[in-house]
């Protein structure tokens, strides 16, 4: 267990209030963001790692920038998938 100074505990509480989350989650998010900035590897639990909103937006932008392979309309593609 960590012992925080009163100033640090107050800052953590204010950050949690602004984010609308419990203090432990606000502190965890802040530490994870700082770790990413400094290139510290985050421990990964079972399954996929959690993506931040920035990561998800970055993936979406990359996918949106990909060239189209099939130039048919969405309706034409769905008609082919659904068959006669």
Q: How many domains does the chain have?
A: 1
Q: Could you report the per-residue pLDDT of 13-60, keeping only the tens digit for each?
A: 999 999 999 999 999 999 989 988 888 877 766 666 778 898 899 999
Token pair, residue 56, equals 């998800």
Q: Which of 4-8, 32-36, 79-83 has the highest mean pLDDT?
A: 4-8
Residue 79: enclosing H or E segment and its boundaries? helix 74-82
Tell me whether residue 68 is in a domain. Answer: no
Smallest CA-to-CA distance from 29 within 84, 20, 72, 45 is with 20
Residue 65, domain member (yes or no)? no
Mean pLDDT of 1-9: 90
Domain that holds residue 3: 1-41
Domain annotation covers residue 46: no
CA gap 25, 71 in Å, rounded: 45
**What are the φ/ψ torsions at residue 20 (nearest 5 degrees)?**
70, 35
């Amino acid at each position: 267990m960590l012992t925080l100074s009163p100033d640090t505990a107050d800052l953590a509480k204010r950050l949690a209030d602004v984010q609308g989350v419990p203090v432990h989650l606000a502190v965890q998010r802040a530490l994870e963001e700082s770790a990413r900035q400094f290139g510290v590897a985050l421990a990964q639990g079972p399954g996929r790692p959690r993506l931040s909103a920035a990561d998800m937006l970055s993936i979406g932008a990359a996918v949106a920038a990909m060239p189209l392979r099939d130039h048919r309309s969405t309706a034409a593609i769905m008609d082919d998938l659904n068959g006669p």
